[in-house]
Amino acid sequence: MSADLAPHFPPRRARVHEACGPGMTGFAAMLAAQLEGPVLWIREYWRPEALNPLGLSDILDPSRLLVAQVKDQTDALAVAEEALRDGSLKLVVAELGEPLGLTPGRRLQLAAKDGRSTGLCLISEGNGSNAAETRWRCTPTFDPEGLDSTLQHWDLIKNKSGTLGFWHVRWDREAHRETHRLRVVSAPGERPGAAHATG
Amino acid sequence: MPVSDARAFCPGLQTRIADPAGDTRFLHALRRWATRYCPWVGIEGEDGLVMDITGVAHLFGDEPLLLADLRQRLARAGFGVRLGLADTRGAAWALARFGEGEAPPGRMAEALAPLPVAALRLEPATATALQRLGLRTVGDLTATARAPLTRRFGPEVMMRLDQALGRQPEQVTPLSDPPHYGVRMTLPEPIGLQDDVMAGLARLLERLCAKLQAQEAGARMFRLTLRRVDQDAQEVELRLARPLREAARILPLFARGVGEVEAGFGIDQLRLAAVQVEPLPVQQVSSVPQGRSDQLGDLITRIGTRIGLENVQRFLPADSHIPERAFLIAPAAWSEPGGPWASPRPRPLRLFPPEAIGGTGPRPPARFRWRRMALETGRATGPERIAPEWWMSDEAWRSGLRDYWQVETRQGRRLWLFYTPQNPGWFVQGEFP
């Protein structure tokens, strides 16, 4: 369990970050909820796993979302670069299926720097680019205490300008302000009174 | 007359399906052509044109010569026409349809007298009633006392008669031409550089945008046709995310399309047309932000030139309890953000086509394999029963009712499972964050 999440999340602006692991969609949605304005979500149209706006509505307002359906990774990267450079969007999320090389990664990084907007690539594990500023591995975690069902384990596995760390977070949908809904919690089994709960 | 009756009269009859919309389009085209004779040309009913040739007949010699010219040109194009020429619109209508010919100036009563009363543009019922009274021709009608006729048939009959005889004025309303949003530029020397084409395009855009400005319209789609020296033509299409008429903003959006043009030996003509035009009223400039920003619209256009404008989409709520149909996907360029979004029950973040897993019985299986992962159920919440919408046939919902469960596995993944009691089986359809 690392110290404060605040210096690391939301990750640095005007940079491109990466997220992997089974919980990466949730990570992207929670990041979008922390930032304001419209969000562009780039996905390849033939992938079966579609976003469900109703599920998203617990985390952020789906009307902020624009979805670009592209045919392959080349188009996805071109659209991401265009959108990052434009700067009218605070966050651009790209779902990438294939490994990302150093050159395209660096191009995205430069585009994000020009447009002062944050980029997030959702990659499969091990497909990341060296140019990424940070890389997060997100895994949903089973909570035996059953407080609610949003417990996640976020592992910062690459950081160009700081230390690594890991956190357990959950999403508090009752909190008033959208930016305050992310709660850092102790790992299951390490909480006070956990011994009684699990026996 | 039904087709079968017509066939009985004329066995060799050929029939075609009527196309009123096509006929109207053709009539409008003919109207445009007819402006070569006079500027005042209007549409008369469904099958006629009316022309006010006051003051133009001498350009073609005289009135009979004008008629002959008109008839000859149309005959050469393969049309049979019936022409009538008179001092008033009503008399010309009557002559064209019932007499065909020319009424001498000021002597319309004589020319119209032998024509049947239907030539006065009367309702068929009125015309029949007049004939039953023995008033068969216009001449009979003129000779009858006016007051009893007005009492019997209302003012319409006398008004039509007066209009035909010129006692009451009637105007020809010319149809105005729809504005034409196209400009062209022909060059004395062929050009081939991208910058030159863009410079020419900038001049064309300036002229076109002035036209759009005057009509308070904005273009949704442009087509730039570049004609090359070898008579080949290349087209660049630009579709915009929102109607625009600012040349400075449209020009950079063309850059990508113009870059892909093959110039060959050079381009000597540029033609720019706004193919789709929408009304774009002038708006009050205000400090309060309204709707989408221009910058975002331009970004959507630029992305659209690469992946197609309909592939930039947004979600809109829909009224359905079927999870796959609880939202609509609409092109962002033609929709506004909608809301509110609320789901009464938790819904997964990702939806995919149902994937079968092993399991029996109405309770979620304690252990199952999904995507080559061995998973163990830690906690299950449910069931939530969703019935198919019987008013819509949906292939995916043929298996009947579904009992949905939120299953939290001990491995961490939180899945959305459903059980189909009518066709026992377990499926995974979504994943929670």
Q: Compare all CA atoms of chain B with the CA of A65 and give the residue at the minimum distance.
A: B314
The three state secondary structure string of B266-323 is: CEEEEEEEEEEEEECCCCCCCCCCCCCCHHHHHHHHHHHHHHCHHHEEEEEECCCCCH
CB pairs under 8 A between A and B: 151
Q: With beta carbons less than 8 A apart as the criterion, state whether A84 and A115 touch.
A: yes
Q: With beta carbons less than 8 A apart as the criterion, state whether B141 and B152 touch.
A: no
Q: Which residues 42-101 of A are in CB contact (within 8 Å) with B?
A: 45, 48-59, 61-71, 75, 78-79, 82-83, 86-89
Q: Compare all CA atoms of chain A with the CA of B326 and give the residue at the minimum distance.
A: A54
Nearest CA of chain B to the CA of A103: how many Å?
21
pLDDT band at B72; cut points 50, 70, 90 = very high
Instruction: Identify the weakest region by mean pLDDT among A65-74, A102-111, B385-394.
Output: B385-394
Classified as helix, coil or strand, B135 is coil
Res A199: pLDDT:
35
Nearest CA of chain B to the CA of A65: how many Å?
6
The DSSP bridge partners found for residue B183 are B272
Res B292: pLDDT:
52
User: What DSSP string describes B266-282?
Assistant: -EEEEEEEEEEEEE---
Give per-residue pLDDT as tens, B390-412.
888 888 888 889 999 999 999 88
Look at B154 and B172; give whichever has higher pLDDT: B154
Ramachandran angles phi, psi of A9, nearest 5°: -135, 130
CA-wise closest residue to B279 among B201, B206, B179: B179
- Going by their DSSP bridges, the two strands B48-51 and B41-44 should be labelled as antiparallel
Contact A54 B341 (CB under 8 A): yes
> Which residue in A22, A55, A144 is closest to B348 by CB distance?
A55
Q: With beta carbons less than 8 A apart as the criterion, state whether B344 and B376 touch.
A: no
A1 touches chain B (CB under 8 A): no
- Would you say residue B361 has pLDDT above 90? no
Instruction: Identify the weakest region by mean pLDDT among A53-57, B51-55, B97-101, B194-198.
Output: B97-101
Which residue do the tokens 């299953």 mark?
B407
| Both structure tokens of B295 | 């910058």
Q: Compare all CA atoms of chain B with the CA of A80 and give the residue at the minimum distance.
A: B303
Summarize the confidence of residues B307-331 as an average pLDDT: 89
The secondary structure of chain B in percent helix, strand, coil, rounded to multiples of 5, reads 35, 25, 35
Q: What are the residues whose beta carbons fall under 8 Å from the beta carbon of B237, sequence distance 6 or more?
A: B221, B222, B223, B224, B257, B275
Q: With beta carbons less than 8 A apart as the criterion, state whether B241 and B333 touch.
A: yes
Cα separations (Å) of B198 from B245, B297, B300, B419? 17, 22, 22, 61
Summarize the confidence of residues B63-72 as an average pLDDT: 90
Q: Report DSSP state, residue B223.
A: E
Distance CA A171, CA B14 (A): 74
Q: What are the residues whose beta carbons fall under 8 Å from the beta carbon of B11, sequence distance 6 or more?
A: none
Q: What is the largest CA-CA distance in chain A?
A: 55
Contact B303 A146 (CB under 8 A): no
Contact B414 A89 (CB under 8 A): no
| Both structure tokens of A149 | 């069902």
Res B404: pLDDT:
93
Q: With beta carbons less than 8 A apart as the criterion, state whether A138 and A40 touch.
A: no
Res A197: pLDDT:
41
How far does chain A reach from its first CA to its final CA, in angstroms?
23
Residues of A with Cβ-Cβ distance to B306 under 8 angstroms: 75, 78-79, 82
Res B44: pLDDT:
83
Residues of A with Cβ-Cβ distance to B432 under 8 angstroms: 55, 140, 149-150
Torsional class of B235: left (φ above 0), alpha (ψ -120 to 50), beta (otherwise): beta
Instruction: Identify the weakest region by mean pLDDT among A170-184, B143-157, B165-179, B299-313.
Output: A170-184
Contact A71 B307 (CB under 8 A): yes
Summarize the confidence of residues A161-188 as an average pLDDT: 79
Distance CA B103, CA B150 (A): 27
Instruction: Identify the weakest region by mean pLDDT among A142-146, B219-223, B389-393, B428-432.
Output: A142-146
Res B263: pLDDT:
86
Cα separations (Å) of B93 from B47, B51, B116, B174, B347? 12, 11, 13, 16, 69
Percent of chain B with pLDDT over 90: 26
pLDDT band at B122; cut points 50, 70, 90 = confident
Q: With beta carbons less than 8 A apart as the criterion, state whether B377 and B363 touch.
A: no
Q: Report DSSP state, residue B123.
A: -
Distance CA B199, CA B331 (A): 32
Res B339: pLDDT:
75
- Would you say residue B420 has pLDDT above 60? yes
A149 touches chain B (CB under 8 A): yes
B430 touches chain A (CB under 8 A): yes
Q: Report DSSP state, residue B57.
A: G
Contact B327 A86 (CB under 8 A): no
Distance CA B158, CA B120 (A): 10
For testing contact with chain B, the best of A36, A41, A47, A54 (most B CBs within 10 A): A54
Give per-residue pLDDT as tens, A48-71.
888 999 988 888 889 989 999 999
Nearest CA of chain B to the CA of A132: how many Å?
23
B406 touches chain A (CB under 8 A): yes
The DSSP bridge partners found for residue B273 are B182, B223
pLDDT band at A27; cut points 50, 70, 90 = very high
pTM for this prediction: 0.70
B423 touches chain A (CB under 8 A): no
pLDDT band at A123; cut points 50, 70, 90 = very high
For testing contact with chain A, the best of B347, B349, B351 (most A CBs within 10 A): B349
Q: With beta carbons less than 8 A apart as the criterion, state whether B180 and B207 touch.
A: no
pLDDT band at A198; cut points 50, 70, 90 = very low
**Burial class of A58 by CB neighbour count within 10 A (0 to 12, 13 to 18, 19+):** buried
B344 touches chain A (CB under 8 A): no
Distance CA B211, CA B280 (A): 13
ipTM above 0.95, yes or no: no
Summarize the confidence of residues B60-72 as an average pLDDT: 89
Cα separations (Å) of A36 from A93, A111, A118, A179? 14, 20, 11, 10
Distance CA B355, CA B386 (A): 18
Residues of B with Cβ-Cβ distance to A150 under 8 angstroms: 432-433
Give per-residue pLDDT as tens, A31-44.
998 888 889 999 99
Distance CA B55, CA B149 (A): 37
Q: Compare all CA atoms of chain B with the CA of A150 and give the residue at the minimum distance.
A: B433
Contact B341 A63 (CB under 8 A): yes
A150 touches chain B (CB under 8 A): yes
- Going by their DSSP bridges, the two strands B41-44 and B84-85 should be labelled as unpaired
Summarize the confidence of residues B11-39 as an average pLDDT: 89
Which residue do the tokens 């309303």 mark?
B173
Q: With beta carbons less than 8 A apart as the criterion, state whether A43 and A160 touch.
A: no
Contact A71 B338 (CB under 8 A): no
Summarize the confidence of residues B2-28 as an average pLDDT: 89
Q: With beta carbons less than 8 A apart as the criterion, state whether A36 and A150 touch.
A: no
Res B280: pLDDT:
85
B291 touches chain A (CB under 8 A): no
A195 touches chain B (CB under 8 A): no
Distance CA A128, CA B347 (A): 30
Amino acid letter for position B208? L
Q: Which residues 110-139 of A are in CB contact (within 8 Å) with B?
A: 139
Q: Which residues 374-393 of B are in CB contact (within 8 Å) with A?
A: 378-379, 381
Which residue do the tokens 């110290």 mark?
A3
Contact A142 B433 (CB under 8 A): no
Percent of chain B with pLDDT over 70: 98
Distance CA B96, CA A98 (A): 75
Q: How far is CA B17 from the centre of its chain?
A: 22
Contact B351 A49 (CB under 8 A): yes
**From 3.40.190.290, 3.40.50.300, 3.90.1310.10, 3.90.1150.10, which CATH number describes the A16-198 domain?**
3.40.50.300
Distance CA A110, CA A95 (A): 19
